Amino acid sequence: MFACALGRGGISADKREGDGATPLGSMRILSGYFRGDQFAGGRRTRLAMAPIGPDLGWCEVPDDRNYNRPVKIPYGASHERMRRDDRLYDACLVLDWNIAPRRRGRGSAIFFHLARPDFTPTQGCVAVTARTMARLLPLLSDRTVMRVVR
């Protein structure tokens, strides 16, 4: 067992874009991103992992054709920058929430990533310490399912 941070909006069975809630349910871990200059453990996993470059973003605009998809920045629509100064995405795994099928406004960028030192809430993701992430990564694959329960 390990501590984790969840969304500032709690856990929701009716996840909506911008509500800050972590979706209730089961989500497969699809793949991930890592910063090789900050988190060496990103290479020790069976997951498909890609390095986070300075031009990697994630679109969060429900009406955009790339909603809830990675984009190259600069990008015209609102997006999240994946190479963060706070290092929360130094190891960032993509959960299959609202990926396929993708529904407009049902939430984007639901990740499993690194937590802030004081475990303050996320914007709807699940977050753990870098040490916990490094311990888990070798055990994870694209068949791993994360269950968020109340």
Task: Please check the confidence at residue 65 and state whether its pLDDT lies above 80.
Answer: yes
Residue 17: band (very low, low, confident or very high) from pLDDT cuts 50, 70, 90: very high
Task: Please check the confidence at residue 80 and state whether its pLDDT lies above 90.
Answer: yes
Domain boundaries, the chain: 11-141
Bridge partners, 66 (sequence order): none
Task: Please check the confidence at residue 49 and state whether its pLDDT lies above 70.
Answer: yes
Task: Please check the confidence at residue 113 and state whether its pLDDT lies above 80.
Answer: yes
Q: What is the spatial distance between Cα 98 and Cα 68, in angstroms, rounded to a whole number? A: 8
The model's pTM is: 0.95
Which sign, positive or negative, has the C-alpha torsion 92, 32, 43, 3?
Answer: positive
- For the chain, give the number of residues: 150
Tokens 């909006």 — which residue? 9
Helix (H, G, I), strand (E, B) or coil at 115: coil
Residue 36: band (very low, low, confident or very high) from pLDDT cuts 50, 70, 90: confident
Q: What is the spatial distance between Cα 70 and Cα 56, in angstroms, rounded to a whole number? A: 7
Q: What was the pLDDT predicted at 38?
A: 73
Residue (of 42, 41, 72, 46) closest to 59 by Cα position: 72
